[in-house]
Structure 1
Amino acid sequence: MCRRFALDLDWDAVARWLDVGDDGIRRDRLPHPSYNIAPTRTIGVVAQGRDARRHLTGAYWTLMPRWSRSRTLPYPTYNARVESIHAKPTFAESTRSMRCVIPASGYYEWKGKRPFYFHADGEEPLAMAGLYSWWRASDTSPWLLTATIVTCPAVDGPASVHDRMPLLVPEELTAAWLDRTVDGASLTGPLRERGTELSRRLRFHEVAPLPADGDGPRLITPVEHVEPIRLF
C-alpha cells in the first residue's frame, strides 16, 4: 500500500531524467512541492502519448476507469496490485496500453500507527510504476487524467514495516513500461523481479505522525526514540 508520498522535485530535471522533451512538459498542470501528497491530490506522471512521445503532466491520484459514471467508487483505486492488474476490470485496459511512471522524492508506509519514510540512498527520485486512465462523468464533461500507483509484496527491510510497497521501475525497463504498443501483462513479471531489487536498496526511518493538512520537509525528519530515565 502507498497512500502518502513526498514530491519535491525539479520538473525540468525529471524531464531530462525520463527523456521528456521541453515541449512535452505541461508545467501549468504539475503540482507544487509537497511532503504530504494524499489520494485525490494532483501528482506528476510521465506517459507516452498517441504521438509516441513522452509527456510530463499532472494527474488526479485515484484511477477512474473510463466506464465509470461516478467519481466515487465502492473501493479505493489509488493503488493497484501488480499480481492482478491484468485481470481486474478496473485496471485491465490501463495495464494493456496506458502505463506511466510516477516520480516521487520518497513515500510513507505504516507499521501499526507508526509512519516510516522510504527514499533512495541519495538525492535521486524514485520512479514508481503507475497506470492511468482518461475519465469523464458524461459525454459533455471535460476529460480528467487519473492515475494509480502499482504495488507489490514488500521484501527484506521494507517488509519489516509493511507487507506492500510501491513497485519501482528500473531504468532498463522504463521504455517498455511506457510503450503503448506493448501489453503490460507481459511486463509485470520482469518488472516485479527488477523492481524489488531496487527496493532492497532503499533507506527508511520512522517519522512523526503525519498531520491531515500539515506540510513541509519537517515531515520526513527522523524520530529519535529516547529511553525513559529510571529513578529506581
Structure 2
Amino acid sequence: MCRCFAADLDWDAIAEQFSVDKDDSDPAELPQPSYNITPKKSIGIVAQGKDGRRHLANAYWSLIPAWNNSKELTYPTYNARVESACNRPTFADSARSMRAIIPASGYYEFHGRRPYYFHAPDDATLYLAGLFSWWREGQSPWLLTATILTCQAVDGPATVHDRMPVLVSHDFTDAWLDRSVDGASLIPDIQKRGVEISRNLAFHEVAAFGPTDNGHKLIRPLRQMHTPSLF
C-alpha cells in the first residue's frame, strides 16, 4: 500500500516534462512541499482532459466515484489494487479512461510501526500510477479526486511490506495518460515496467513521525541505507 509520501517538487519543471501548457497549470494552486502527505490531503496530479490537453492540477487524495452521494465512503479509496481496479465499481470507470500520474519525491512503507522511505537512487522524481474522478455534492463546485495504484511487492520492497505503489516508466507516460486507450490493455505492461523500477529503488528506515511532523528531517536515515544490488 501507499498511505504516505513526500513531494518536494518544482511544479514548473513537472509541467514542462509532461508538456502541460501554462494555461493548464496554476503553480499557486498546487500543493506546497511536504514530506508527510497522507490520504484526504491535496496532491498534485498530471492528467489528460477530454479536450486532449494535459493538465497539472490539485486533487483530493481519496478517489470518490461520480455516482457516490457522499464525500465519505465506508472503505478507503486512497489506494486501488491494480489487479482488480478495472473490475471494481468504485474504480472501473477511472481505470478505463481517467488515469493520472502522481509525481513524488519518494514514499513511505511501514513494517509494523517502523517507517521506511523509498526513493530513486539519484533522487529523481518518481511517477506513481494513479486514477482520477470528478465528484460533487448537489450544486457544489466539482472536486478532482485521485487514488494511487498498488501491486504485489517484490525483492527489497517486499521485505518491508507486501504491497507497493505502481511506478510509471518515463517511456510509458504517454500511453498511460491517453484517454482513448482502455486501461485494461495497459495494466500488464505498466505493472511489469513498474516492478523493474521498484527493484532498483533505494530505501532506508526513518524515525517514527506523527501526523503533524514535516520537513526534510523526516527522510533522514535511521540506519544504513539499502541500495539495489549491482550483481
Same fold flag (TM > 0.5): yes
The reply on whether 1:124 has 2:133 as its aligned counterpart is no
Contact 2:12 2:27 (C-alpha < 8 Å) held by counterparts: no
Letter in 2 for 1:59: A
5+ unaligned residues in a row in structure 2: which ranges? Answer: 225-231
Tell me which residue corresponds to 2:147: 148
Which shifted more, 17-26 or 88-97? 17-26
In structure 2, what is the Cα distance between the partners aligned to 1:19 and 1:127? Answer: 15
The DSSP-based 3-state class of the residue aligned with 1:68 is coil
Tell me which residue corresponds to 1:166: 165
1:30-49 correspondence to structure 2 within 5 Å: 30-49=30-49
The DSSP-based 3-state class of the residue aligned with 1:131 is strand
The DSSP-based 3-state class of the residue aligned with 1:190 is helix
Tell me which residue corresponds to 2:187: 188
Tell me which residue corresponds to 1:11: 11
The DSSP-based 3-state class of the residue aligned with 2:72 is coil
User: Could you tell me how far 1:78 is from its partner in structure 2?
Assistant: 0.2
User: Could you tell me how far 1:96 is from its partner in structure 2?
Assistant: 0.8
The DSSP-based 3-state class of the residue aligned with 2:77 is coil
Tell me which residue corresponds to 2:229: none
Letter in 1 for 2:173: T
1:78-227 correspondence to structure 2 within 5 Å: 78-138=78-138, 140-224=139-223
In structure 1, what is the Cα distance between the partners aligned to 2:94 and 2:9? Answer: 26
In structure 2, what is the Cα distance between the partners aligned to 1:17 and 1:200? Answer: 24
The DSSP-based 3-state class of the residue aligned with 1:192 is helix
Larger Rg: 1 or 2? Answer: 1
User: Could you tell me how far 1:16 is from its partner in structure 2?
Assistant: 1.7
Tell me which residue corresponds to 2:59: 59
User: Could you tell me how far 1:183 is from its partner in structure 2?
Assistant: 0.5
In structure 2, what is the Cα distance between the partners aligned to 1:153 and 1:207? Answer: 23
TM-score, with structure 1 as normaliser: 0.94
User: Could you tell me how far 1:191 is from its partner in structure 2?
Assistant: 0.5
Contact 1:117 1:220 (C-alpha < 8 Å) held by counterparts: yes
In structure 2, what is the Cα distance between the partners aligned to 1:93 and 1:224? Answer: 43
1:21-67, CA deviations, whole angstroms, 9 ceiling, x for partnerless residues?
22221223210000000001000000001111111010000000001
How many residues were matched structurally?
224
Q: Please tell me the root mean square deviation across aligned C-alpha atoms, in Å.
A: 1.0
User: Could you tell me how far 1:142 is from its partner in structure 2?
Assistant: 1.1
User: Could you tell me how far 1:90 is from its partner in structure 2?
Assistant: 0.1
User: Could you tell me how far 1:20 is from its partner in structure 2?
Assistant: 1.6
In structure 2, what is the Cα distance between the partners aligned to 1:220 and 1:79? Answer: 22
Contact 1:26 1:58 (C-alpha < 8 Å) held by counterparts: no
1:124-167, CA deviations, whole angstroms, 9 ceiling, x for partnerless residues?
100000000000112x1110000000001111100010010000
In structure 2, what is the Cα distance between the partners aligned to 1:18 and 1:196? Answer: 22
The DSSP-based 3-state class of the residue aligned with 1:177 is helix
In structure 2, what is the Cα distance between the partners aligned to 1:122 and 1:24? Answer: 29
User: Could you tell me how far 1:211 is from its partner in structure 2?
Assistant: 1.2
In structure 2, what is the Cα distance between the partners aligned to 1:161 and 1:149? Answer: 19
Identical residues among aligned pairs (%): 60
In structure 1, what is the Cα distance between the partners aligned to 2:135 and 2:171? Answer: 30
User: Could you tell me how far 1:171 is from its partner in structure 2?
Assistant: 1.4
The DSSP-based 3-state class of the residue aligned with 1:93 is helix
